[in-house]
Amino acid sequence: MKAPQENAPLRSTFPRGPRDEQTTHAILAEGLVKRFGDTTALDGVDLAVRRGTVLGLLGPNGAGKTTAVRILATLLRPDSGRATVGGYDVVHDAHQVRRLIGLTGQYASVDETLTGLENLILIGRLLGLSRPEARGRGRELLAEFRLEDAANKAAKAYSGGMRRRLDLAASLVGRPQVLYLDEPTTGLDPRSRNEMWDIVRDLVSGGVTVLLTTQYLEEADLLAEEIVVIDHGRVIATGTPDELKGRVGAQTLAVRARYPVDTPIVESIVAQVAGRAPEAQGGLLTVPVTDPAVLPAVVRRLEEAEVAIGELALRGSSLDEVFLALTGHRAEDETEDQNQPERILA
Amino acid sequence: MTAAATAATGAAVALPRRVNPVEGLRHTFTLAWRSLVQLKHNPLELLDLSVQPIMFVVLFTYVFGGAISGSTGDYLTFALPGIVVQNALFASVTTGVGLNTDLTKGVFDRLRSLPIARSAPLAGRIIADTVKQAWSIALILGLGVILGFRVHGGVQGVLAAFVLLLVFSLAVSWIAVLVGLLAADPEKVQIFAFVVVFPLTFTSNAFVPADTMPGWLQAWVDVNPVTILADAVRGLLSGGAAATQVGQSLLWAVAIAAVFAPIAVRTFKRRV
């Protein structure tokens, strides 16, 4: 894990000229604002991603993650604020930026009617490779992502995991320096998810800078050197996974009294031990904790008070709980995907 | 190897600010190739391009022929140019459907994130659709000849009709591009095509001479650009007088393109 990044140097390291080669950051964004009609998708977002590192952009659906990526990928113009990729301005030097980036997201798709190989050849040709070079690069990527057998199958016949790998392969044809992965594992089964994580780690070890958006705390924790949490188009927390865990509570203590009448007693005990008021939902009381010793302490106190326990658990914080801890409100998230990993920050 | 090599060596290399025109042309042809390769994998689209014209020619000739013209042969001579025109109009909607599919499926965003000419995705599609258009026109004319249509206009007449149809449908495809950019999904583009193209072609002399229609309808039929284009194609294929109609058809094409191309391009740029 890298040393904690402070927010303060952001402004001073922001390059004055569009081609400041001194920059140690592959991506710098300052005060990005984007409105769609009455809704403000981004409300002044700053981002700084150091070369060769992974930045995890964490937030619920509708937080503005995708809008931020689309701006950095030159697909949208910000209403205000500015951003550079590799020293090039995403609005004024869009063409140069496009030479440096690769984009993988649900909205940046391959052509479903073409085969995997044809898709990669198409992109290779568009990037200026000769026909044999494009074919060679396509085959190379298919082999790397274990898609050789499906090379001549139409992309629409691919499974979810295969499709994501093809999407990723398509964004790597031009060997980008900067890669945007917009929710690369949403909707994938655990095995495909693990495969995707391995691929990302390989890319980073090869020197690629990655901006990863995700709804999964676990994913950001496993892959990113630094995490930026956004909600309602604003950055609400920035730090290394360890720093965030320190602030948010790595784990959540959940207690339910056996008899509802005891709930107030349990509530006060939990509040005293954990140092903050628990959140009550039904009879279930949850509170973020950083110190695992809280668990035995709560058990002892409940025993002393002779309260019967219905349920008691210490588990990894979910994204929802992180949001609660950071913002005081639950992530207003209509995620259809209910099979998020429960076990999150380890 | 420029792109990959540059990207691999780092940003220290000054990257070109824009696409040079030769590269832009290559991007356009690569994307046209892509639209044509789709046909290989999507037999339904090929059916659409082939079976529909064949079906129209055969059905119209044998179902309506006797009733309208007394014999299938006479009717074919009258209606084939009309069928070609109707088919060309339907086929030009394909551009809008394909564009909309790319937009809604996200292929467009992938292309836009690449360092390619901004116009290439649209231009490539239009070139590919013109090739498809030429294929259906040739198919209908070929089938017509097999079924008894006699060309009296010579090779020149056929070529002129071909070019006129391509120019006209290219103009109409700007309307399709606009609809394709604005519609929420490809089905809506199809619906638009049916709602507009069907009445437009049927209230012309494409399939039936106008004399039995009520007066108010005849008045419309006379000014309907489909009538003008059908008459122009008839004249060119049969070797009869066609100069006026060809001229008027070209004027219509220019007018349609002059109105819709700028709006479509502006809408396109806003989305790009």
Residue A43 per-residue DSSP state:
E
End-to-end alpha carbon distance in chain B: 27
Query: Among A126, A133, A183, which would you mutate to test the B interface (most chain B Cβ atoms within 10 Å of its Cβ)?
Result: A126
Residue B167 per-residue DSSP state:
H
Among the listed ranges A275-289, B29-43, B177-191, which one has the minimum average pLDDT value? A275-289
CA dist., res. B236 & res. A321, Å (int): 75
Q: For B43, which residue in chain A has the nearest alpha carbon?
A: A113
Mean pLDDT of A7-11: 40
For residue B18, what pLDDT band results from cuts at 50, 70 and 90? confident
The answer to whether A225 touches A54, Cβ cutoff 8 Å, is yes
Kindly report the backbone phi and psi dihedral angles of residue B113, in degrees, each rounded to the nearest multiple of 5, phi listed first.
-80, -5
Model confidence pLDDT, tens digit, residues B234-272: 999 988 778 899 999 999 999 999 999 999 999 988 876
Tokens at A182, concatenated: 């917009």
Helical residues (DSSP H) of chain A, grouped into ranges: 9-13, 65-72, 94-100, 116-126, 131-144, 160-172, 190-205, 217-223, 241-248, 263-274, 294-304, 319-327
- Enter the ipTM: 0.85
Query: Among A49, A51, A112, A127, which would you mutate to test the B interface (most chain B Cβ atoms within 10 Å of its Cβ)?
Result: A127
- Give the model's pLDDT for residue A12: 40
Q: Within 10 Å of residue B28's Cβ, how many Cβ atoms?
A: 22
Tokens at B270, concatenated: 């806003």
Kindly list the domain boundaries of chain A, sorted by start residue. Answer: 9-245, 251-316
Angle at A232 between CA A221 and CA A211, to 5 degrees: 40
- Give the model's pLDDT for residue A329: 63
- Give the model's pLDDT for residue B219: 92
The answer to whether A252 touches A325, Cβ cutoff 8 Å, is no
Residue in A190, A194, A215, A244 with CA at minimum distance from that of residue A61: A215
Helices (H) and strands (E) in chain B, counts: 12, 0
CA distance A109 to chain B (A): 5
Model confidence pLDDT, tens digit, residues A96-109: 999 999 999 877 78
CA distance B22 to chain A (A): 11
CATH topology of domain A9-245: Rossmann fold (3.40.50)
Q: Which residues on neighbouring strands pair with residue A32, listed in sequence order?
A: A45
CA distance A100 to chain B (A): 6
CA distance B204 to chain A (A): 37
- Give the model's pLDDT for residue A341: 35
Q: Does B2 touch chain A (CB under 8 A)?
A: yes
Among the listed ranges A8-17, A26-35, B8-17, B154-163, which one has the minimum average pLDDT value? A8-17
Mean pLDDT of A165-191: 92
Q: Does B34 touch chain A (CB under 8 A)?
A: yes
CA dist., res. A195 & res. A213, Å (int): 17
A to B CB pairs, distance under 8 Å = 113
Residue in B85, B79, B74 with CA at minimum distance from that of residue B60: B79
Domain A9-245 identical in fold to domain A251-316: no
For residue A319, what pLDDT band results from cuts at 50, 70 and 90? low
Residue reference for tokens 């904790």: A289
Query: DSSP assignment of A214-253, as one string?
Result: ES-HHHHHHH-SEEEEEETTEEEEEE-HHHHHHHH-SEEE
CA dist., res. B30 & res. A29, Å (int): 34
Of B17, B23, B111, the CB nearest to A96: B17
Model confidence pLDDT, tens digit, residues A47-68: 999 999 999 999 888 889 999 9
Do A21 and B17 count as a contact with CB atoms less than 8 A apart? no
Q: Which residues on neighbouring strands pair with residue A153, listed in sequence order?
A: none
Q: Within 10 Å of residue B227's Cβ, how many Cβ atoms?
A: 22
Q: At A172, which amino acid appears?
A: L
Residue reference for tokens 């059905």: B59
3-class DSSP assignment, residue A54: strand
Kindly report the backbone phi and psi dihedral angles of residue B208, in degrees, each rounded to the nearest multiple of 5, phi listed first.
-140, 135
Q: For B118, which residue in chain A has the nearest alpha carbon?
A: A95
The answer to whether A89 touches A18, Cβ cutoff 8 Å, is yes
Residues in chain B with CB shorter than 8 Å from the CB of A100 are 7, 11, 15
Taking 3-state DSSP, the helix, strand and coil percentages for chain B, each rounded to the nearest 5, stand at 85, 0, 15
For residue A337, what pLDDT band results from cuts at 50, 70 and 90? very low
Ramachandran area for residue B148 (φ above 0: left; ψ -120 to 50: alpha; else beta): left
- Nearby residues of A299 by Cβ (< 8 Å), 6 or more positions away: A309, A312
Q: Which residues on neighbouring strands pair with residue A287, listed in sequence order?
A: A253
Distances (CA, A) of B53 to B63, B87, B128, B138, B171: 15, 6, 18, 10, 21
- Give the model's pLDDT for residue A328: 67
Residue in A57, A46, A108 with CA at minimum distance from that of residue A219: A57
Cα B80 to chain centroid distance, Å, stands at: 17
Kindly list the domain boundaries of chain B, sorted by start residue. Answer: 43-271
Distances (CA, A) of B271 to A84, A214, B119, B182: 22, 26, 12, 10
Name the burial class of residue A133, with classes exposed (0-12), middle (13-18) and buried (19+) by CB atoms within 10 angstroms of its CB: middle
- Give the model's pLDDT for residue A81: 95
Question: Between residues 12 and 31 of chain B, which touch chain A (CB distance below 8 Å)?
Answer: 12, 14-19, 23, 26-27, 30-31
Model confidence pLDDT, tens digit, residues A129-154: 999 999 999 999 999 999 999 999 99
Q: Within 10 Å of residue A277's Cβ, how many Cβ atoms?
A: 12
Among the listed ranges B8-22, B45-59, B144-158, which one has the minimum average pLDDT value? B8-22
Query: Among B23, B34, B119, B269, which would you mutate to test the A interface (most chain A Cβ atoms within 10 Å of its Cβ)?
Result: B34
Helical residues (DSSP H) of B183-242, grouped into ranges: 186-202, 215-223, 225-238
Q: For A132, which residue in chain B has the nearest alpha carbon?
A: B1
Calculate the dihedral angle through the C-alpha atoms of B25, B26, B31, B34, rounding to the nearest 10 degrees: 140
CA dist., res. B171 & res. A244, Å (int): 58
The answer to whether B60 touches B202, Cβ cutoff 8 Å, is no
Tokens at B3, concatenated: 């792109």
pLDDT over threshold 80, residue A21: no
Residue A290 per-residue DSSP state:
S
Kindly report the backbone phi and psi dihedral angles of residue B127, in degrees, each rounded to the nearest multiple of 5, phi listed first.
-65, -45
Residue reference for tokens 């309208």: B68
- Give the model's pLDDT for residue A23: 65
Residue reference for tokens 């658990």: A313
In the sheet that holds A25-36, the strands lie side by side as A39-50, A25-36, A80-85, A88-89
Mean pLDDT of A13-29: 63
β-pairing, A226-231 vs A54-58, is: parallel
Among the listed ranges A141-150, A297-306, B12-21, which one has the minimum average pLDDT value? B12-21
- Nearby residues of B244 by Cβ (< 8 Å), 6 or more positions away: none
- Nearby residues of A88 by Cβ (< 8 Å), 6 or more positions away: A18, A19, A96, A97, A100, B11, B15
- Give the model's pLDDT for residue A342: 34
- Give the model's pLDDT for residue A245: 74
Kindly report the backbone phi and psi dihedral angles of residue A223, in degrees, each rounded to the nearest multiple of 5, phi listed first.
-105, -30
Write A130-136 long-range contacts (CB < 8 A, 24+).
Answer: A130/B1, A133/B1, A134/A173
In the sheet that holds A284-289, the strands lie side by side as A279-281, A284-289, A251-257, A309-316
Residues in chain B with CB shorter than 8 Å from the CB of A98 are 113-115
- Give the model's pLDDT for residue B3: 43
The CATH code of the domain at A251-316 is 3.30.70.100
Residues in chain A with CB shorter than 8 Å from the CB of B109 are 70, 75, 103, 105, 107-109
Computed over every residue of chain A, the mean pLDDT equals 84
